[in-house]
Structure 1
Amino acid sequence: MLQLQSTSYARLLSLLRSCIDGKSYSAGKLLHARILRLGLLDATFLCNRLVELYSACGKTRDARLAFDGTPRKDVYTWNAILGAYCKAGELRSARRLFDAMPERNPFSWNNVISSLVRNGLEREAVEVYRSMIFDGFVPTRFTLASVFSACSVLLDVEVGRRCHGLAVKIGLEKNIYVGNALLCMYAKCERIEDAIWAFRDLPDPNEVSFTAMMHGLAQIDRVPEAIEMFKLMCRQGIPIDAISLSSVLGVCSSGGYDETSLDSCGGGHSCILQGQQVHSLMIKLGYGGDIHLSNAIIYMYAKNGDMDSAEMIFSNMSEINVVTWNLMIAGYGNKFESDKAIRYMQRMQCCGFQPNEVTFINALVACVNSGNVEMASQVFAGMLFPTVSSWNVMLSGYFQSGKHLEAIELFQKMQFLGVRPNRTSLATILSSCAVLEVLEFGRQVHAASLKFAGNADIYVASGLITMYSNCGKIELAKLILHKLPKLDIVCWNSMMAGLVLNSLDIEAAVLFRQMRQMEMLPTESSYGSMLSCCGKFRSSFNGRQVHAQIAKDGYANDVCVGSALVHMYCKYGDIDDARRFFDMMPYKNSVTWNEMIHGYAQNGFGHEAVCLYEDMNGLGMKADSITFVAVLTACSHGGLVDAGISIFNSMQQEHGIEPLLDHYVCIIDCLGRAGCFNEVEVLLDKIPYKDDPVLWEVLLSSCRVHANVSLAKKAAGELLRLDPKNSAPYLLLANIYCSLGRWDEARAVRNQMNDNQIAKDPGYSWIDIKHEIQTCLHYNPEVVKERIESWQPVETE
C-alpha cells in the first residue's frame, strides 16, 4: 500500500509539472480533484505545485484557495502564492501577504522587488530593497539587477553607487546579468565614464552590454563613439540581431538633419554614411524584410534629411504599417515640405490605413514648421477627438506665425470643449498674451493655470512673469517670482527681461547679482538682459565687468551674447571696441551684423556702415528688413543720398524684400535732409503708407530745415487730417514762417491753433537723482510772465 501511494505521488508530481508547463487549467483541476480524493493534502510539495499551476494559468483566486487549503505551509508555499499575486500585478495583495509571511528567503524579496519595478513603482522597490538589507539578507543577482533598473528610471545614481559597492563586496559585479543592469543605470544617469568602467569590468560582454553602451553614448551626443562601439561589437564576433541593428540605426538617427551639412556626427563621421553601411549589413544578414528594421531605416534617412532614400525604402517594402506612413509624414515635416507630408497622409487613407493621433500630430507639425498654418487648421478640423498634444501644436503654430488672436480664440474653444490644458498649452498662450499685452485674458489664463498646474510649475510661472511684465504689471510679476518654492534659471531670466523692458535697469542688475550669489549659473539669456541694462548706464564700467564674466564663463563665442556685447559698446559710443569684438566673433548671424551697422549709424559713421553692409553682402550673409533700416538710417544721418537711393532700390530688385514704413521713412528723411524734394514728391506718389503720421512728421521737419513752404503745407495738412488735435504741425509750420520773416502767416497759424482750441503739451526734462528719475516741467514763459504781473504764484503741479 505504501509503495502504491509512493507511485501515485510521483506520478501526480510528473503530471502536475506537465500541466504547469502547458498551462493546462482543465487537466490541472482534475488532478487537484484526484489529490483531494487520495487525501494527499498533507503532501506540501504537491500543494505547492497546485498553487504554481493556478498561477501559471492566471487563476489567482484558485491559487489562493489552494494556498488556503494547504494544511502544512512552508516558505515555498508562501512564495508560490506571492509569485501568483506578483505575476497578476495584484501588488496590494502581494504586499499584504509579504508582510504576513512567517518566514522569508531571498526569493520572497526578489519577487516583490521585481514586480514593483515591472509595474512602475521604482521608488517603493528601492524601499523594499533597503528593508531587505536591513533584515540581513544578502541580495542575489536578480535583486541587484532589479534595483539597478529602478535606479535607471529614477535617475538615482547615489543609490545605484551604493548597490554597486555591495555588488563588488559580494563578488557579483562581474556577473553578466548584474553588470549589464549596472552599466545601463550609469548610462541612463549620464555617468558615461562609470558606464565605461562597468563595461570594461565585464569578462564577456554580450549584445545587451554593447547595446546599452551605444544608447548611453548617443544620449550624451557622443555619437562617433557609439558607432565605434558597434564596430567593436562586429570585430569581436558578438551576434548581431535585430535589436542590435535597431539600436545602431537609432544612433545614426541621433545626428539629426542639418541643412548646412550632413556631417552631423562630428569627428569626421557622417551619420548618413554610417547608416547606409548598417543598412547594407542588415540586408546581408537577411533582415531586409523585417518591417520594424525597415521602419528604423526610414527613420534614420528621414532624420538625416535624405527623403529620396527614405522614399526608395518605402516603395520596396513588402509590408507597411501605420508607423511607416507616420515616419514618412514626419520626415517631410522635418524638411518643411508640408505639401508632401499632407499628400502622404491622403495616400495613407486611400490605401485603407486609419490615421492615428501620431499621424495627425506629425501632419500638424509639418504644416506648422513650413509656416502653413491654414493647412494645419484644416488638418486639425478633420480630427474627431484631438488630444491636448494636437491642441498644443496648433497653439504653437499660431504663436510662431504671429497669429496671437487666433491662438487666444483656439484656447477659449479648448476650454469650452472641456479639454484640460497642460503646462505647454498654458505657457504658449501666455506668450501670445504677452505679445498682445492683453492683461485681462492673461489674468484668466493665470486663474486656469492655478486650477490645472498649481503655483509650483516653473514653466508656467516663467510665462506668467513675462506676460505681467509685458503688460506693465511688474509688481505682479515679482509676486509670482517670490511665491515660487523653487526657482530655476528660466524664471530668473524672465524676471530680468521684464525689469529691463519696464526700464528698471538697476533692479535688473541687482537681481543678476542675487542670482550669482545663489550660485545659479547665468545663461545666454541672462547675459543678454544684463548687457541690455549696462548699455543704458552712463558709465561703461559695469558693462566691461559683465564682459569679463562672460569671457570667464565661456559665453564670449555665443552669437547671441556677442551680438548683445556689440550693441552695448555701440550704445556707449565706443565704436572701436564694438568693431574689435565684432571682428573677433567666430560666428555672426544677421542680428550681429545689424547691431554693428546700426551702431555705426547711430554714432555718425555713415560711410563705415555702408561699407560693412557691402561686406555683409559679399560674404553671402542674407540681409533682412532690419538690416535695411540700419543702413538707410546711416545714409540719412551721413548725408549719403546716392548710396541710400541705391540700397533702397536694391531691396526688392536684388533681395526680394518689400519696403515697409520704416524703410520709406528712412529714405524720405535721407532725401529731405539733402533737400531733394523733387525726388521726395515722386516717392510720395508711390508710397503705400500715406496714412501714417510718422512719415509726414519726418517730411515736415526736413521742410523746416530747408524752408520748403509748399511741401510743408502739404505735410502739415496731412498730419492735421490724420490727427486734428495734434499741435506739432501748427508749431512746425509757424516756425518755418518765422524763420522766413513771414510774421503775418506765422500769426495766422497761431490764431488758427487758438481758434481750434489746440494747446501745446508742456515739455518735461528727466534728471537722475540717486538712481531715481525725477521730472522737471518746462513752463511757457508767456504764462509765467502773466502770472507774475497779476501776482499769482506759479503752480508746480
Structure 2
Amino acid sequence: MQSQIIANLTKLVESCIARRSLSTAKSVHARAFRLCLLGDTFLCNRLIESYSTCGDKSYVLSTFSTTWRKNVFTWNAVLSFFVKSGDFENARKVFDEMPERSPISWNNIISCSARSGRERDALDLYRGMVVEGFVPTRFTLASVFSACGSSGDVEMGRKCHSMAVKVGLEGNMYVGNSLLCMYAKCGFVGEAMRVFDDVSDPNEVSFTALIGGLALTDRFYEGFEVFRMMRRRGICIDAVSLSSALGMCSSGRLDTYADDGGKERFLGVVCGQQIHCLTIKLGLDGDLHLNNSLLDMYAKNGDMYSAEAVFESLTCASVVSWNVMIAGYGYSGDSDKAIRCLRNMQSLGFEPDEVTYINTLAACVYSGDIATAHEMFNSMAMPTISSWNALLSAYFQWGKYKEAINLFRKMQFQIVKPDRTTLAIVLSSCAGMRLLDIGKQVHATLQRAYLDEDVYVVSGLISMYSNCGKVELARTIFDKVPELDIVCWNSMMAGLAFNSLDMESIVLFNEMRKSGVFQSEFSYATVIGCCSELVSSLHGRQLHALATKDGYDNDPYVGTSLIKMYCRCGDVQGARRFFDSLPYRNTVAWNEMIHGYAQQGYGEEAVWLYEKMIDSGTKMDEITFVAVLTACSHAGLADVGIHIFDSMQRDHGIKPLLDHYTCIIDCLGRSGRFSELEALLDKIPCKDDGVVWEVVLSSCRVHANVSLAKRAAEELLRIDPCNSTPYVLLANIYSSLGRWDEVRAVREKMDDAGVVKTAGYSWNDVGHGMPSSRHEEHTELAKWRVEA
C-alpha cells in the first residue's frame, strides 16, 4: 500500500516538473511529509528536480538537507540546479563534496565551467575525469571543445579531437560541430574545413561555424562562398547564419569597386544589401538580433541613410539598437547626431549602459570634438575603466598627449586601477612626447602589477623607449619577453628604424621569419621603408617578392612603401608599373608616386599624374600639393606651379601651409622671378621660419641677387644668430662675383660672432673603406638575402 502511495505521489511530482507547478509540488511535499514518506530517496530526488525546474533555491536546499539516504542522483539533482542557474561557486562546492560521481556529474561541472568563462577550470576538470577512468560523452567533448575555442588552446583541442576519434564520436554531429567551432575560433581554418568535409550531413550550425571562422581570419570571400554553398544545398538559413554573413560585410576589409557611373563603392555594402533582401524574403526581418546586425553593417560601411531606415522600421528597438546607431554616427564623424540619439533614447525610457556612453564618447572623438567628449565623461556618475580608456584614447588619437597624461594622473588620484589598455595608451602618449621620465614611472607601475611581460603593454614600452632614443633598453625588454607576438616584433623593428638602425631592423625581420611568426602588412611596410633609407633596391625587390607571396603587395601601406622604395632607389619606371598594378590607390599612394617623380626630376610626369589624381576623384591633402609643387620647382615649371598654388584654396579648400609657401618660393627663385618672390614674401604668414629664408638665399646665390641675399641673410641671423648657413651662402655669392672685400667682411663678422661652419662629410655604402660594424651588417644582410 505504501509503495503504491509513493508511486502516485511520484507521478504527481513528475507532472509538476512538466508543468513547472511550484504550488502543487509543495502540496505533494507536504502530503509526503505527513505520511512520513520522505525516507524514499527516489521521491525526494524528484521533489528536488521539481523545485529546481521552478527555480526555488530554498526548497531545493532544504529538501536536499532533509533527504535521509542521499545517492548519486540526489547530488546530481542539486548540482544540476546550480549549473542551470549559472552559480559556478556553489556548483563546484557541491561537486567537490560528492561522495560518488557519475559521468553526468562531470559533464555538468565541466559545462558550467565553460559557460562561466572559466575555461582553464573546465579543461582541468576534463583531465581529472579522464584520470578517474570515465569515458567522455558527446556532451563532455562539446563543452571541452567550447572551452578550448574560447581560450585559444588549440593543442588541448587537438588532444580532445584524438579522444573523440578513440571513443568513436568524431562522426557525431554534435561533437563535429563543436570541434569545427573550436578550430574556427582558434584561427585554424584549414583544420576547420577538414572537419567540415568529414561531417557526413552538415547542418546550419556547421555552415555558420565555418563562416565565422573564415571571417575571423579575414577570409571573407571564402566565407561568402560557403554561405552561397549553404544556400545552394538547401540548408535552413536562420537569423544566426545571416548575422554571421552580415558580420563579414561589417568588417570594412572587403575591396571597393567602381559602379556603372564610375563612382567608387564598398563591396561590403552591396553584399550586405543582398543579405538584407534575403532577410525580407525569408520573413526574418522581424528578428531583433538580425536587425541589429543589419544596423551594424550599414553603420560600419558609412551608409547611415539605410541604417536610419532600418532603425525606424523596428517595432521594438533595444538598447543595443540605440548603441549601434550612436556608434554609426560616430563612424561618420557626426557627434551632434550621436548626442541627439542619446537624448532621444533617454526620453523614450531606455536606460543607457556603459556601451552607450563609450559609443557617444567615441563619436565625439571621431569628429574631433574632444571638449564634448570630456563634457560627456564628466556627466557620468561613476565612469568605469572602459570610459576612462575611451577618453584617454581620444586624447591620444588627436595628438593631445599632455592631456592624456594629465587625465591618467587624475585617474590615479581618484584611485581608479588602470588596466593594460590604460597603461598601453599612456606609454604611447609618453612615446609621442618623448617623456622618458614619466615613461619609466609607468614602467615601474607595470612591474608592480606584474604586467611588464604582457605582450599588449610590452609593445608600448618598446615604442616609448625607442622614441626616447633608448633603443638598447627597448631591445633588452624585447629580448626578455618569453612569447612575442607580431605587435612586439613590429614595435621593435619600427623602433630600430626610427633610430636610423635600418640594417638592424632588416636583420630583426629575418629573425622574426625564422621564429615562425607570420609577418603582417606593418612588418613589410617597416622593413621596405628601411630599404628606402639604405637605397637598397636589390633587397627591396626581394621583399617585394616576399610580400607578393604572402598576399600583402596590394595592401595600401605596403604598396606605398614599395613605391617610395623604388623611387628612392632611382627606379621610377618600376615604381610606376607597380602603382598602375594596384587595384585601389588611396591618397597616400598617389602622393608617393607624385613625390617620386618630383625627387627624380620628372616634373611634367608629376604634374600629369596630379591631374589624373583630380580626374579619379581621389581626395587630395596638403602633402599632395607639397609633392606637385616640389616637382614644378625641380623642373622649372614656374607658371604651372603658380597655377596649382593658386588653386589650392580656391578649388580644393586647402589652406597653404609653410611647406607650400617654401615650395612656391623655391620655384620662383630657381626661375629668377624675384619680383614675384618678394611680393609673396610680404604676404606669407610665417616670416620667422628659417627654412624660407634659406631657400631664398640659395636662389640668390644661383642668380647673384645680392640685395635680396642680404635681406635673407639678415632675417636668418635674426632668427638664429649661431647659424653658419647665411654667412657661408652670402660669402659664396660675393666670391662668385669677385667681391673679395665683402667676402672678407662676412668672414670677419662670422669670427666675431663665434660661429663655426660644420665640417662636411660623405659616406659610401659599398663596403670599401666602410667601418667594420657596417661591413658586418652588410654581410648579415647578404646572408639574409640568400635565406630569403
Give the alignment's TM-score, normalised by structure 1.
0.84
| Whole-angstrom distance in 1 between the partners of 2:585 and 2:714 | 46
Counterparts in 2 of 1:17 and 1:397: CA distance versus 1, 3 Å = same
Q: Secondary structure of 1:354's partner? A: coil
More displaced 10-residue stretch of structure 1: 457-466 or 6-15: 6-15
Equivalent residue for 1:264, pick from 246, 267, 271: 267
| Whole-angstrom distance in 2 between the partners of 1:566 and 1:213 | 37
Q: Please tell me the residue identity of whatever aligns with 2:484.
A: L
More displaced 10-residue stretch of structure 1: 210-219 or 757-766: 210-219
Counterparts in 2 of 1:120 and 1:604: CA distance versus 1, 3 Å = closer
Residue 672 in structure 1 maps to residue 669 in structure 2: yes
| Whole-angstrom distance in 2 between the partners of 1:300 and 1:577 | 39
Q: Is the 8 A contact 2:521 2:558 kept in 1?
A: yes
In the TM superposition, residue 193 of structure 1 has moved relative to its aligned partner by 6.4
Q: Please tell me the residue identity of whatever aligns with 2:755.
A: A
In the TM superposition, residue 463 of structure 1 has moved relative to its aligned partner by 1.7
**Equivalence for 2:780:** none
| Whole-angstrom distance in 1 between the partners of 2:554 and 2:31 | 83
Q: Is the 8 A contact 1:249 1:300 kept in 2?
A: no
Q: Is the 8 A contact 1:712 1:733 kept in 2?
A: yes
| Whole-angstrom distance in 2 between the partners of 1:90 and 1:100 | 16
In the TM superposition, residue 539 of structure 1 has moved relative to its aligned partner by 5.9
Q: Is the 8 A contact 1:665 1:695 kept in 2?
A: yes
Equivalent residue for 1:516, pick from 487, 492, 513: 513
Counterparts in 2 of 1:232 and 1:695: CA distance versus 1, 3 Å = same
| Whole-angstrom distance in 2 between the partners of 1:143 and 1:496 | 45
Q: Secondary structure of 1:254's partner? A: helix
In the TM superposition, residue 199 of structure 1 has moved relative to its aligned partner by 6.0
Q: Is the 8 A contact 1:223 1:265 kept in 2?
A: no
**Partner deviation per Cα, 1:369-402 (whole Å, 9 max, x = no partner):** 2333333333333322222222323233323323
**Equivalence for 1:370:** 367
Q: Is the 8 A contact 2:377 2:387 kept in 1?
A: yes
**Equivalence for 2:249:** 255
**Partner deviation per Cα, 1:5-42 (whole Å, 9 max, x = no partner):** 34433344344445555667777667666656655465
In the TM superposition, residue 714 of structure 1 has moved relative to its aligned partner by 1.7
**Equivalence for 1:278:** 279
Q: Is the 8 A contact 1:753 1:759 kept in 2?
A: yes
In the TM superposition, residue 465 of structure 1 has moved relative to its aligned partner by 1.4
**Equivalence for 2:411:** 414
**Equivalence for 1:786:** none
In the TM superposition, residue 309 of structure 1 has moved relative to its aligned partner by 3.5
**Partner deviation per Cα, 1:434-469 (whole Å, 9 max, x = no partner):** 222222232233233334461112122112212221
Equivalent residue for 2:467, pick from 470, 481, 504: 470
Q: Please tell me the residue identity of whatever aligns with 1:228.
A: R
In the TM superposition, residue 213 of structure 1 has moved relative to its aligned partner by 5.3
| Whole-angstrom distance in 1 between the partners of 2:667 and 2:364 | 42
Equivalent residue for 2:681, pick from 675, 680, 684: 684
Counterparts in 2 of 1:251 and 1:13: CA distance versus 1, 3 Å = same
**Equivalence for 2:332:** 335
| Whole-angstrom distance in 1 between the partners of 2:447 and 2:114 | 33
**Partner deviation per Cα, 1:175-224 (whole Å, 9 max, x = no partner):** 55445444444444455566567667767766655655554555453442
Counterparts in 2 of 1:396 and 1:82: CA distance versus 1, 3 Å = closer
Q: How many residues align?
A: 758
| Whole-angstrom distance in 1 between the partners of 2:74 and 2:381 | 52
Residue 45 in structure 1 maps to residue 39 in structure 2: no
Q: Please tell me the residue identity of whatever aligns with 1:231.
A: R
Residue 504 in structure 1 maps to residue 501 in structure 2: yes
Q: Please tell me the residue identity of whatever aligns with 1:278.
A: T
| Whole-angstrom distance in 2 between the partners of 1:353 and 1:577 | 59
**Equivalence for 2:350:** 353
**Equivalence for 2:488:** 491
In the TM superposition, residue 124 of structure 1 has moved relative to its aligned partner by 2.9
| Whole-angstrom distance in 2 between the partners of 1:254 and 1:19 | 46
Counterparts in 2 of 1:39 and 1:264: CA distance versus 1, 3 Å = same
RMSD: 3.7
Matched ranges for 1:217-296 at <5 A? 218-219=215-216, 220-221=219-220, 222-225=222-225, 227-228=227-228, 231=231, 235=234, 238=236, 244-256=238-250, 264-265=267-268, 270-282=271-283, 288=286, 291-292=288-289, 294-296=291-293
Q: Please tell me the residue identity of whatever aligns with 1:252.
A: L
Gaps of at least 5 residues in structure 2 are 258-263, 764-768, 776-788
**Equivalence for 1:763:** 759
**Equivalence for 2:779:** none
| Whole-angstrom distance in 2 between the partners of 1:497 and 1:359 | 36
More displaced 10-residue stretch of structure 1: 75-84 or 29-38: 29-38
| Whole-angstrom distance in 1 between the partners of 2:755 and 2:152 | 70
| Whole-angstrom distance in 2 between the partners of 1:536 and 1:202 | 53
**Equivalence for 2:695:** 698
Counterparts in 2 of 1:94 and 1:311: CA distance versus 1, 3 Å = closer
Matched ranges for 1:590-605 at <5 A? 590-605=587-602
Counterparts in 2 of 1:415 and 1:701: CA distance versus 1, 3 Å = same
| Whole-angstrom distance in 1 between the partners of 2:45 and 2:427 | 62
In the TM superposition, residue 681 of structure 1 has moved relative to its aligned partner by 1.0
Q: Please tell me the residue identity of whatever aligns with 2:720.
A: D
| Whole-angstrom distance in 2 between the partners of 1:317 and 1:554 | 41
Counterparts in 2 of 1:49 and 1:702: CA distance versus 1, 3 Å = closer
Gaps of at least 5 residues in structure 1 are 775-797
* Aligned-pair identity (%): 55
**Equivalence for 2:434:** 437
| Whole-angstrom distance in 1 between the partners of 2:653 and 2:411 | 39
In the TM superposition, residue 722 of structure 1 has moved relative to its aligned partner by 1.9
More displaced 10-residue stretch of structure 1: 18-27 or 685-694: 18-27
**Partner deviation per Cα, 1:77-116 (whole Å, 9 max, x = no partner):** 4434544554566656655665665554333333333333
Residue 570 in structure 1 maps to residue 564 in structure 2: no
| Whole-angstrom distance in 2 between the partners of 1:193 and 1:762 | 61
**Equivalence for 2:631:** 634
**Partner deviation per Cα, 1:654-674 (whole Å, 9 max, x = no partner):** 322222112211221222222
In the TM superposition, residue 340 of structure 1 has moved relative to its aligned partner by 2.0
Q: Secondary structure of 1:686's partner? A: coil
Residue 707 in structure 1 maps to residue 704 in structure 2: yes
| Whole-angstrom distance in 1 between the partners of 2:188 and 2:739 | 84
Q: Please tell me the residue identity of whatever aligns with 2:419.
A: N
| Whole-angstrom distance in 2 between the partners of 1:168 and 1:502 | 54
In the TM superposition, residue 329 of structure 1 has moved relative to its aligned partner by 1.6
Q: Secondary structure of 1:763's partner? A: coil
Q: Secondary structure of 2:761's partner? A: strand
Counterparts in 2 of 1:559 and 1:310: CA distance versus 1, 3 Å = closer
| Whole-angstrom distance in 2 between the partners of 1:715 and 1:262 | 51
| Whole-angstrom distance in 2 between the partners of 1:125 and 1:420 | 29
In the TM superposition, residue 691 of structure 1 has moved relative to its aligned partner by 0.9
| Whole-angstrom distance in 2 between the partners of 1:751 and 1:213 | 80
Counterparts in 2 of 1:29 and 1:495: CA distance versus 1, 3 Å = same
Counterparts in 2 of 1:63 and 1:228: CA distance versus 1, 3 Å = same
Q: Is the 8 A contact 1:226 1:251 kept in 2?
A: no
In the TM superposition, residue 519 of structure 1 has moved relative to its aligned partner by 3.3
| Whole-angstrom distance in 1 between the partners of 2:341 and 2:445 | 38
| Whole-angstrom distance in 1 between the partners of 2:356 and 2:268 | 28
Counterparts in 2 of 1:670 and 1:352: CA distance versus 1, 3 Å = same
Residue 10 in structure 1 maps to residue 12 in structure 2: no
More displaced 10-residue stretch of structure 1: 353-362 or 576-585: 576-585
**Partner deviation per Cα, 1:130-168 (whole Å, 9 max, x = no partner):** 443444434444334333433343344554455555556
In the TM superposition, residue 278 of structure 1 has moved relative to its aligned partner by 0.7
In the TM superposition, residue 679 of structure 1 has moved relative to its aligned partner by 0.9
Counterparts in 2 of 1:198 and 1:499: CA distance versus 1, 3 Å = closer
Q: Is the 8 A contact 1:253 1:303 kept in 2?
A: no
Structure showing greater relative contact order (alpha-carbon pairs closer than 8 Å, 6 or more residues apart): 2
**Equivalence for 1:650:** 647
Give the alignment's TM-score, normalised by structure 2.
0.85
**Equivalence for 1:123:** 120
Q: Is the 8 A contact 2:246 2:293 kept in 1?
A: no
Q: Is the 8 A contact 2:395 2:404 kept in 1?
A: yes
| Whole-angstrom distance in 1 between the partners of 2:519 and 2:706 | 56
Q: Please tell me the residue identity of whatever aligns with 2:245.
A: V
